[in-house]
Amino acid sequence: QALETTMIDRQSDLTQPLATLNDNEQLKARSRHLRGDIATGLADPLTGAVPGDDPLLMKFHGIYQQDDRDVRADRRQRHLEPIHQFMVRMRIPGGVLTKAQWWGLDDLSRRYAERGIRITTRQTVQLHGIRKRTLRALMQGLRDIGLDTIAACGDDSRGVVCGANPSLSDAHRRVAELARATSDRLIPKTRAYPEIWYQQTPANNDATNEEPVYGELYLPRKFKVGYALPPINDIDVYGQDLGLIAVVDNGVLHGFNVCVGGGMGQLDTREDSYPRLAEEIGFIDADQAPEFAETVMTIQRDFGDRKDRHRARFKYTLDRLGLNWFLNELARRRGEPLQPARPQRFQHNGDRLGWQQGNDGLWHATLYVESGRVDDALRSQISGLLQQYGGRLRLTTNQNVQLTHVEDHEREQVQWRLDDLGLSWRLRPDSQAAHTLSCVALPTCGLAMAEAERYTPRLLDVLQRLKAQYHVADTPITLRLTGCPNGCARPYLAEIALTGRAPGLYNLYLGGSFHGDRLARLYAGNVDEEQFLGLLAPMLEDFAAARHSGEHFGDFLMRRHWLDTTPVALTHL
Ligand code: SRM
Ligand code: SF4
């Protein structure tokens, strides 16, 4: 045991001198638990930006400094400062909002944001285009409606996602409660947040214990936790750093199969970066889940790579130190090994759109929102709808919105209202649209190399026309589009994915599974629309002719060995 511990200690970057760690680690260390000079930068009226390293620190507060990339070149040519603006990401565990919170968001987004409300692939809300002078007012407005943004970004545990609509059954409710308890447990405790944003007076007492779990250096990188409830893998549980898969028998939640080490991000410039599926490692009792999440997170805290930031995610820690090492360390910290994983099966990773009734008799209507973008009209329509019934709202990890808790006697009225407002199609959208996700990309994302959200309508149109040629337009195929390889729409888990390389050019990935449990393979590099449609055409033709009943496109491509050969286009990489 002593020998093993010594070996482990030598592998931990936390035992290395700070000067040997990467710049972000140094920044965190001198930030006084995420304070930096943010408050001073906010007060400077001469620029729309915050200076120095503070934009990096602000990420821990859920805020990204961005600029409008549509006008960046023009501004540069005219020697003008970029149009600096901020993206604010909320922390909404499980995506559950009250009506008052939605109305509050509606109001705040009209007052302070430029691009409506954006539902994200981690079931929360982002507001874009906020100016520095109004940032604090927005943050206080959010506080007033019971929302915050702490650790929605940064090197910490990000918003905990949960696929269970709490109202569907007792088991769903329990899973949602555990997801919220996990979020509460893993949230950073620094008082920097209320001091800076709510202007609360700093406490005089010693700040050394301000972060009992995270310490001064927080995590080496972001850490993502998600809860899924089979048969629906809507959260893409195998893309999470830590995934908890509910095991329910006869309506009773027994516990969770746990899987570790998922992640999508990769860099074109680093061959040693890659997307990775989380591996199932065992089973835990339900009540243990929040503490278990903390234990796994603290192993990553202690052993994640703090020198090479591009290899700092938990997936790389696992590959570097080995799964057996991790299981031993986990057992040592928990005082017991994991129980064997129990049988469970997923059927798909999309949302169930339309009406659904819970065991408690209440109804829930899931409405499709293309790329999660809630524009002015939809925002008002949802706000109006919420005036009329006693329910609530839930955001999904497929960027959709769910009206929840509709009483039986209200359902007909809500349906009429949906009809009146022209929203009924959102309950039953085109099946391809319903299985498509795209990330924000241009014009706000600083990392985007190609369009994603703004290209989605056209992509859906051309793909559906191609599918129609082969009479497979009604067969849903999971399609994910991102503006760069980072994978914010979880492309490497889709049956067809396009990840941006340059304006109008994408890498084409194929062959993920419909359940989100197999990685797609790179099939072609740097292809434009005409080229990728040309590559897909013979596959769809073959699919129409030779697929088995109920077979999904990704499985079909694997069975027919479509992905075994390297097409010419790959040489352009
Ligand atoms: Fe993401 C960075 C948007 C989910 C992997 N992501 C970004 C930034 C903040 C760009 C930046 O660093 O400057 C993007 C802001 C764009 C904008 O203008 O709004 C951004 N990510 C998003 C969202 C909004 C996509 C969406 O269209 O919904 C999602 C917000 C989630 C949330 O509410 O918390 C979003 N990002 C994801 C996911 C999906 C997930 O978690 O289920 C992933 C893949 C899973 C993973 O983490 O491995 C993801 N985002 C990344 C990465 C790559 C991380 C890596 O390990 O390499 C980056 C870049 C980075 O962190 O350096 C990134
Ligand atoms: Fe930006 Fe890339 Fe994420 Fe899209 S995938 S939001 S382009 S970081």
Dist CA 61 CA 451 (whole Å): 27
Ligand index nearest the alpha carbon of residue 62: 1
CA of 441 to the centre of ligand 2 (A): 5
Ligand index nearest the alpha carbon of residue 450: 2
What atom of ligand 2 comes closest to residue 499's alpha carbon?
5
What atom of ligand 2 comes closest to residue 491's alpha carbon?
5
CA of 439 to the centre of ligand 2 (A): 6
Dist CA 408 CA 188 (whole Å): 41
Dist CA 527 CA 525 (whole Å): 6
Q: What is the DSSP string of 70-85?
A: TSHHHHHHTT----EE
Q: Count Cβ atoms within 10 A of the Cβ of residue 188 and give its class: 0-12 exposed, 13-18 middle, 19 or more buried.
A: buried
DSSP character at residue 119: E
Q: What would you report as the CA-atom Rg of the chain, rounded to the nearest whole angstrom?
A: 23
Binding site membership of 448 for ligand 2 (Cβ less than 6 Å): yes
CA of 502 to the centre of ligand 2 (A): 13
Binding site membership of 438 for ligand 2 (Cβ less than 6 Å): no
- E strand segments, 146-202: 161-162
pLDDT of residue 1: 35
pLDDT of residue 14: 80
So which residues are the catalytic ones?
89, 158, 222, 224, 439, 445, 484, 488
What atom of ligand 2 comes closest to residue 487's alpha carbon?
5
- The answer to whether the CB of 378 falls within 8 A of the CB of 425 is no
CA of 375 to the centre of ligand 1 (A): 21
Cβ neighbours of 2 (radius 10 Å):
6
- CB within 8 Å of 171: residues ≥ 6 apart: 164, 229, 246, 248, 251, 252, 253
pLDDT of residue 8: 47
Pairing between β-strand 505-510 and β-strand 496-502 as defined by DSSP bridges: antiparallel
Candidate from 126, 445, 498, 499 with most ligand 2 atoms within 8 A of CB, to mutate? 445
Dist CA 289 CA 286 (whole Å): 6
Q: Quick one: CA dihedral 539, 516, 168, 418, positive or negative?
A: negative
Pairing between β-strand 117-119 and β-strand 373-374 as defined by DSSP bridges: antiparallel
- CB within 8 Å of 40: residues ≥ 6 apart: none
444 φ, ψ (degrees, to nearest 5): -95, -35
Binding site membership of 263 for ligand 2 (Cβ less than 6 Å): no
Q: How many residues does the chain have?
A: 573
Binding site membership of 56 for ligand 2 (Cβ less than 6 Å): no
The protein residue whose alpha carbon is closest to atom 54 in ligand 1 is: 265
Q: What is the DSSP string of 364-385?
A: EEEE--GGGEE-HHHHHHHHHH
CA of 224 to the centre of ligand 2 (A): 17
Binding site membership of 450 for ligand 2 (Cβ less than 6 Å): no
- The answer to whether the CB of 132 falls within 8 A of the CB of 49 is yes
- The answer to whether the CB of 482 falls within 8 A of the CB of 436 is no
- pLDDT truncated to tens, each residue of the chain (573 aa)? 333 444 445 467 788 899 999 999 999 999 999 999 999 999 999 999 999 999 999 999 999 999 999 999 999 999 999 999 999 999 999 999 999 999 999 999 999 999 999 999 999 999 999 999 999 999 999 999 999 999 999 999 999 999 999 889 999 999 999 999 999 999 999 999 999 999 998 876 655 678 999 999 999 999 999 999 999 999 999 999 999 999 999 999 999 999 999 999 999 889 999 999 999 999 999 999 999 999 999 999 999 999 999 999 999 999 999 999 999 999 999 999 999 999 999 999 999 999 999 998 999 999 999 999 999 999 999 999 999 888 899 999 999 999 999 999 999 999 999 999 999 999 999 999 999 999 999 999 999 999 999 999 999 999 999 999 999 999 999 999 999 999 999 999 999 999 999 999 999 999 999 999 999 999 999 999 999 999 999 999 999 999 999 999 999 999 999 999 776 555 444
Cβ neighbours of 170 (radius 10 Å):
14
Candidate from 484, 493, 499, 506 with most ligand 2 atoms within 8 A of CB, to mutate? 484
> Is the pTM for the entire model greater than 0.85?
yes
The protein residue whose alpha carbon is closest to atom 38 in ligand 1 is: 488
Closest to 385 measured CA to CA, from 360, 355, 359, 421: 421
One-letter amino acid for residue 220 of the chain: P
The protein residue whose alpha carbon is closest to atom 50 in ligand 1 is: 488
pLDDT of residue 388: 85
pLDDT of residue 5: 42
Q: Quick one: CA dihedral 4, 259, 399, 519, positive or negative?
A: positive
- The answer to whether the CB of 233 falls within 8 A of the CB of 513 is no
The protein residue whose alpha carbon is closest to atom 56 in ligand 1 is: 265
Binding site membership of 447 for ligand 2 (Cβ less than 6 Å): yes
